[in-house]
Amino acid sequence: SLNRLRDLAAAKSAAIGTFVSMGNMSEVECLGYTGLDFVVIDTEHGPFDTETMMNLIRAAELVHLVPVVRLANVDHKDIQRAADCGAQAIILPCLRELDDFKKAVALAKYAPIGQRGFIKGRGTHFGNAPWAATETLEEYYANSNERLLVMPQCETKEALEQIEDIVQIEGLDGIFIGPYDLSTCLGIPGQFETPVFKEATDRILKACHDAGKLCYIFTGTTNQARDYIAQGYDGIAHNLDFNILIEAYKQVVADIRK
Ligand code: 3PY
């Protein structure tokens, strides 16, 4: 397919990624030498601007990491720019209404699935990049729709309660579970081992797979990550750049001092 995350899921091989929130190009390049499959360029919490997002996408492309972008809002300009800058998956946080999920798909996918606006330019690669070298605009739209995954987050009570309907939306490729916000919305913040939380995540995973959609989840520990992979999640976004950097240097210092 035109998206490696789809291929990994089809091969039943869980994709492993991490959140990039520091927003540094060299950092992304380094992550390309670690065996990770994707990076989530986090414009929701990260402090960087749109141009930096584009350069982070470029850095990811350079080292063959799938560039995933998290946006703060279901917003025309944000989604259009992330898609045009080359994001290969879009994650949107804290959606509540079925209509918001539909709108996210409509903005990110070209016709006939959605209404994404088209322009010939760097962003779209129309006629230039190998996957975009199509004869017709119609074929190009189909390729772009295959290449860009729309994976909104399920991390509110409202989304959880209608997850079976959400995953039926045409053009929605998968769901990304945010355990911190989901557990908070369920009144059990950070209590990932509780039956209520387990029931919620099991429900989302089942709904996704019953509908033939991907299910990704964020993890804070490698034990949790292994556990989720064993349960059948298609992808794990593990931790954030700066936490892992701190841990790695702490380990180095501890090793030297011991
Ligand atoms: C959450 O756990 O709430 C997330 O969104 C992870 O980034």
Q: Is 218 in the pocket of ligand 1 (CB under 6 A)?
A: yes
CA of residue 237 to ligand 1 center, whole Å: 9
CA–CA dist 102, 98 (Å, integer): 6
Secondary structure element (H or E) that encloses residue 237, with its range: strand 235-240
pLDDT at 122: 66
Q: Is 181 in the pocket of ligand 1 (CB under 6 A)?
A: yes
Does position 181 have pLDDT exceeding 80, yes or no? yes
Question: Which ipTM score applies to this complex?
Answer: 0.95
CA–CA dist 206, 111 (Å, integer): 29
Contacts of 25 (CB under 8 A, 6+ apart): 55, 56, 58, 59
Q: What is the pLDDT of residues 37-66, one digit of tens each?
A: 999 999 999 999 999 999 999 999 999 999
Q: Is 249 in the pocket of ligand 1 (CB under 6 A)?
A: no
For residue 6, give the nearest of 76, 75, 89 by alpha carbon: 89
Mean pLDDT, residues 185-212 taken together: 98
Tokens at residue 257, please? 């001092």
Q: Is 155 in the pocket of ligand 1 (CB under 6 A)?
A: yes
Residue the block writes with tokens 């772009």: 144
Residue bearing the CA closest to ligand 1, atom 4: 178
Phi and psi of 40, rounded to 5°? -100, 110
Q: Is 27 in the pocket of ligand 1 (CB under 6 A)?
A: no
pTM above 0.95, yes or no: yes
Amino acid (one-letter) located at 250 = K
Q: What is the pLDDT of residues 98-156, one digit of tens each?
A: 999 999 999 999 999 999 999 887 677 888 888 898 989 999 999 999 999 999 999 99
CA of residue 78 to ligand 1 center, whole Å: 20
Amino acid (one-letter) located at 170 = E
Contact between 207 and 161 (Cβ < 8 Å): no
